[in-house]
Amino acid sequence: MDEALRSERGEMSEGCKMAMEKISTDKARQIARIKGLQPGLVKGTKGVQFTKGKNTRLQVIGWDDFERALATRRLAVFESGGWMKIMKA
């Protein structure tokens, strides 16, 4: 695989993997702002994820609601190489 593509996908060469690090919601806001993302709620579920606001299955929510949803479900935002993922804390 092309090295630039590996880097873009957050992969390291020779089998090394980049570790996901837990980040604050303030840091998540900064990354989301740069990437044009907003916090969202998956309609009909308690699922939360980031969205660009174009998916009809997701409802854009405010950052306060997002933080409450994370706390209620014991989730946190993790980041690696500019990629964010919501996982169990």
Tell me: the pLDDT tens digits for 9-62? Answer: 444 445 556 799 999 999 999 999 999 999 999 999 989 999 999 999 999 999
- Bridge partners, 77 (sequence order): 23, 86
Tokens of 19: 């570790």
Each domain of the chain, given as residue ranges in start order, spans 36-89
> Which residues, other chains included, contact 15 with Cβ-Cβ below 8 Å and sequence gap of 6+?
none
What span, in angstroms and rounded, lies between the C-alpha atoms of 13 and 66?
35
Digit-coded pLDDT (tens) for 57-88: 999 999 999 999 999 999 999 999 989 999 99
pLDDT for res 22: 97
